[in-house]
Amino acid sequence: MSIYTVHMKETSDQSSAFERAVFVRDGFGWWALFFGPLWLLWNRAWLGFASWSLIQIALGLLVQSHIIHMGAQGLLELLIALALGFEAASIRRYVLRRRGFRLVDVVQDRRLADAERRFFARFKLDSPAPVMRTSATSGSSPLVGLFPSAGA
């Protein structure tokens, strides 16, 4: 079973909001692993692409100045690609949030088409756009964890 997060942009037109809903699968991003910079550009992660480019330039300069060996450069590039694969879904969610999309639901199903059906069956077009509800409120308590008060 895969877990999908559903992101929608706030608009006055409900039908266009539902048509533009974006489903992001939680899990390892194989496309990001093998095609890292192209994946970043495709998903409009400009800051991620700029960071990746600066890291590649820095690694090239370190190899040219004989500070690190070419084998170490290859290992570091592999580690960067793995990190990009593991964080692909988080990067995609961050980019969507920056573009004005908000998290509205989490759906679990085997395939994307089944997850879409389950999501759209839950919310009808005549109902208001879904709002993600969390159990924690922002002003409830500044403490996090198991202790009820600061001195406990």
* pLDDT tens-digit map of 61-74: 999 999 999 889 99
Residue that wins the pLDDT comparison between 37 and 132: 37
b/e code 63-97 from CB counts within 10 Å (16+ = b): beeeeeeeeeeeebeeebbeebbeebbebbbebbe
Q: Say whether pTM exceeds 0.85.
A: no
Q: Give residue 58's pLDDT.
A: 94
Pair 3, 110: CB distance under 8 Å: no
Average pLDDT for 125-129:
56
* pLDDT tens-digit map of 98-108: 999 999 999 99
